[in-house]
Amino acid sequence: MPKVFYIQPDGSETVVEAVAGDSVMQTAVRNGVSGIVGQCGGSLSCATCHVFLAEENADDFAPVSEDEDEMLDCAATEREDNSRLSCQLVLADGQEVRVTVPEAQL
Amino acid sequence: MSGRLLVVGAGQAGVEVASSARGLGWDGPITLIGQEPHAPYARPPLSKAFLKGEASLESLALRSVAFYAEQRIDLVLDEQVAHLNLTGEEAVSASGRRWPFDRLVLATGAQPRPLPIDGADLDGVLMLRDVRDAGILAQRLATVTDLVVIGGGFVGLEVAATATAAGVRTSVVEAAPALMNRVVSAATAGFVEAAHLAAGARVFTGVRPHRLHGEGGAVSAVVLEDGRELPAQLVLVGVGARPRDELARAAGLRCDDGIIVDEHSFASDGRTLAVGDCANLPDPSPAPEPAPRLRLESVDNAVEQAKVAAATLVGAPRPYRGVPWFWSDQGALKLQIAGLARADDDIVIRPDARPGRMTVLRYRSAHLVAAECVNNPADFLVLRKALGAGVSLPREKAEDTSLSLKRYLQVAPA
Ligand SMILES: Cc1cc2nc3c(=O)[nH]c(=O)nc-3n(C[C@H](O)[C@H](O)[C@H](O)COP(=O)(O)OP(=O)(O)OC[C@H]3O[C@@H](n4cnc5c(N)ncnc54)[C@H](O)[C@@H]3O)c2cc1C
Ligand code: FES
């Protein structure tokens, strides 16, 4: 089972046991982790699932696509080098992932 | 903030009301009742990923089973509420069970409008609202050569795109002169139509279906009013949805194309709340000359209006304000709309140097009121934010396609 650690802007942390094949966004929304909205359900339409991906996980996922890249430029919270849209981070078995939730999504 | 909260309708809006009310501090028992046998799920993928076989019902779940338990939300499935007694504070389900409440929220959604023509009851004539419909549609799609989609709205066009991509000969019949009539500008509709034609679909606009032909009880063709006949072993009727307001109506709440609510989501008795597709609400958008009332069928509205209702419930009311937005994925097309335009609003087209992309801005006198983006998610995000913040984009700037919207709107004074 993959595991996701969600770190809030205030430093508090929630750990969720995820399902392989689900995204970091789906896992957050289904379990009520605050700060990740995911309104479009993962179809790259809303950018309300922005997260900062921990450095140790940088190579664990498919790279940023052109649309994701452009959308990150326009996310509600300023983009950083490790910004991702969490609906594009699909979890694999055994993975442990750390993400930090931004201040605002809308 | 204590007492029994009963939410009728376990869809996008119902789930959001229940979880937001709990999150905002509602202490008492929360019951969420839905008539479908499945745990609440997202509907948008039904005409997209799910229909293509790329998503399972489990993957569409809005919340995990554990979430409802942890949040002490009593999720009751397979139970249809048949009667409301508002003064007696009780709902009764079709099975005869009684559900007493202190506060009631109606989140009953909408249902597809049936097609009032001969042959609409033939086998092979389907509508799409829930996962059961989507399962049947997916099964049938795999066995037919010709599909006719009646209605060129979002759901119909999404199904058409999926079907064409799967190699089914697909025709779309739309009575209005353009696809997605009144929801998007003619420019966007034309762009979308061209994409469907290029993908291999046939599109018939400005013509109504006259009747459906059958053979042995199953549909075999759609006959148009001009006499043309389109072969079809499968017909999807996608001519819009009507609100499920019959419970509210019978209980004496004011309804007119949905349950009439105010900006706090209160129905006409000042106590019951209604949210989502079933509600008829004051236009929440900041545009000048807003529509007096409307109904919104979108995930954004279901979620945002539900949050407003939850705030009302816990005694921290705030009015519903915001820029409604909507997306639709049709094959390779991603259509995103922010704001509510009227048919008579002006258009400014911003073509994109990259093929297949376009942004259309809608103006009401000098005000930017809406944006329609095709395969331009970055433009969409910038414009949605600008619309929400009331940041102006002078028309002559909008017309200058060498100008980067992002750069301009971020440095422009509010
Ligand atoms: C195929 C399809 C594709 C869509 N695509 C998009 C999209 O791309 N983007 C977008 O923004 N929106 C889309 N939508 C619209 C979006 O799904 C709806 O606006 C949203 O689901 C509305 O939420 P709701 O809770 O009001 O209604 P629903 O999600 O319909 O939920 C209402 C629930 O209440 C139940 N119910 C009704 N009456 C009773 C009763 N008496 N007792 C118990 N239960 C009852 C119903 O069975 C249903 O489960 C799509 C809709 C469909 C059908
Ligand atoms: S959930 Fe909408 S872009 Fe990720």
| Tokens linked to B328 | 């639709």
> What is the C-alpha separation between B21 and B109, in angstroms, rounded?
19
Mean pLDDT rounded to a whole number for chain B: 95
- Whether A87 maps to a domain, the answer reads yes
For residue B403, pLDDT beyond 90: no
What is chain B's Cα-based Rg?
22
pTM above 0.90, yes or no: yes
Q: Residue B316: how many CB atoms within 10 A of its CB?
A: 11
In a domain, residue A45? The reply is yes
Token pair 């229909």 is found at B51
Q: Give the residue-averaged pLDDT of B365-376.
A: 94
Quote the ligand 1 centre to B110 CA distance (angstroms).
Answer: 6
Q: Is A106 part of a structural domain of the chain?
A: no
Mean pLDDT lowest for which of B20-34, B114-128, B133-147, B354-368?
Answer: B354-368
Res B411: pLDDT? 59
- Tell me if B101 sits within 8 A of B56, measured CB to CB: no
Question: Which phi and psi (to 5°) does residue B392 adopt?
Answer: -90, 150
- Ligand 1 pocket, Cβ-based, cut-off 6 angstroms: B 8-14, 33-36, 43-44, 46-47, 80-81, 107-109, 128-129, 155, 244, 247, 276-278, 297-300, 302, 326-328
**According to the model, what pLDDT value does residue B314 have?**
98
Q: Domain range holding A79? A: 3-100
Neighbour order of strands in the sheet with A13-17: A13-17, A3-7, A96-100, A50-53, A83-85
Find, among B310, B266, B244, the residue nearest to B109 by Cα.
B244
Indicate the burial class of B231 (C-beta count within 10 angstroms; 0-12, 13-18, 19 or more).
middle
Report yes or no on A105 lying in a domain: no
DSSP for chain A reads: --EEEEE-TTS-EEEEE--TTSBHHHHHHHTT-TT---TTTTSSS----EEEE-GGGTTSSPPPPHHHHHHHHT-SS---TTEEEGGG-B--TT-EEEEE--S---
Name B346's bridge partners: B363
Residue A72's pLDDT band (cuts 50, 70, 90): very high
For position B278, what pLDDT does the model report?
Answer: 98
Of B65, B46, B68, whose CA–CA distance to B56 is shortest?
B46
DSSP annotation of B115 reads P
Question: CB of B67 within 8 Å of any CB in chain A?
Answer: yes
Q: Quick one: tokens of B124? A: 């092979």
What pLDDT was estimated at residue B405? 87
Cβ-based neighbours of B215, under 8 Å, separated by 6 or more: none
> What is the average per-residue pLDDT within A43-62?
96
Bridge partners for B171 per DSSP: B148, B202
Chain B residue with the nearest C-alpha to that of A30: B63
Any B CB within 8 A of A78 CB: no
Q: For A99-104, what is the mean pLDDT?
A: 96
Alpha helices of B251-394 — where are they, by DSSP H?
A: 299-313, 377-389
Q: What burial class does residue A1 get, using C-beta atoms within 10 Å of its C-beta: 0-12 exposed, 13-18 middle, 19+ buried?
A: exposed
Measured torsion, CA atoms of residues B42, B45, B49, B55, in degrees rounded to the nearest 10: 10
Q: Which two tokens stand for residue B122?
A: 């033939």
**Residue B65 to residues A31, B28, B390, Cα–Cα distance (Å):** 9, 20, 40
Mean pLDDT of B200-216: 97
Cα gap B82→B232, rounded to integer Å: 37
CA B346 to chain centre: 25
Which pLDDT score is estimated for B84?
98
In a domain, A48, yes or no: yes
* pLDDT surpassing 70 at residue A23: yes
| The pair of three-digit structure tokens given for residue B323, joined into one six-digit string | 């820029």
Distance from CA of A16 to the nearest CA of B (A): 11
What is the average per-residue pLDDT within B4-11?
98
Per-residue pLDDT tens over the stretch B96-147: 999 999 999 999 999 999 999 999 999 999 999 999 999 999 999 999 999 9
Asked if the structure places residue A74 within a domain, the reply is yes
Q: Answer for the pair B250, B84: CB distance below 8 angstroms, yes or no.
A: yes
User: Which whole-number Å values give the CA distances from A86 to A32, B69, B90, B98, B385, in the listed order?
Assistant: 15, 25, 42, 42, 20
Which of B246, B253, B299 is the best mutation target for the ligand 1 pocket, counting ligand atoms within 8 Å of the beta carbon and taking the most?
A: B299
Q: Count how many Cα atoms sit within 13 Å of the Cα of residue B106 in the half-sphere of its side chain.
A: 36
Please state, rounded to an integer, the average pLDDT across all residues of chain A.
95
Q: Is B164 helix (H, G, I), strand (E, B) or coil?
A: helix
pLDDT digits (tens, 9 = 90+) for B231-290: 999 999 999 999 999 999 999 999 999 999 999 999 999 999 999 999 999 999 988 888
> Which are the contacts of B402, defined by CB distance < 8 A and separation ≥ 6?
none
Q: Across the interface, which of A22, A39, A43 has its CB nearest the CB of B329?
A: A43
Overall domain count for chain A: 1
Cβ neighbours of residue B20 closer than 8 Å, sequence gap 6 or more: B306, B307, B310, B311
Partner A contacted by B48 (CB < 8 A): yes
Hey, which residues does B187 pair with through a beta bridge?
none
pLDDT above 80: residue A16: yes
Distance CA B362, CA B184 (A): 10
Predicted local confidence at residue B412, as pLDDT: 57
pLDDT at B414: 44
CA–CA separation, A73 and A106 (whole Å): 14
CB nearest to B327's CB, from A29, A34, A43: A43
> Percent of chain B at pLDDT above 70?
99
Which residues of A are less than 8 Å from B23 in CB distance? 32, 34
Nearest CA to ligand 1 atom 34: B9
What end-to-end distance do the CA atoms of chain B give, in Å? 39
Q: Tell me if chain A has a CB within 8 Å of the CB of B357.
A: no
Distance B300 CA to ligand 1 centre (A): 12
CATH no. for residue A20? 3.10.20.30
Q: Which domains does chain B have, with CATH numbers?
A: 5-111+242-313 (3.50.50.60), 114-239 (3.50.50.60), 341-411 (3.30.390.30)
Task: Place A86 in a pLDDT band, splitting at 50, 70 and 90.
Answer: very high
Cα B378 to Cα A69, B367, B382, B384, distances in angstroms:
9, 21, 6, 10
Is the torsion defined by CA of A13, A17, A23, A28 positive or negative? negative
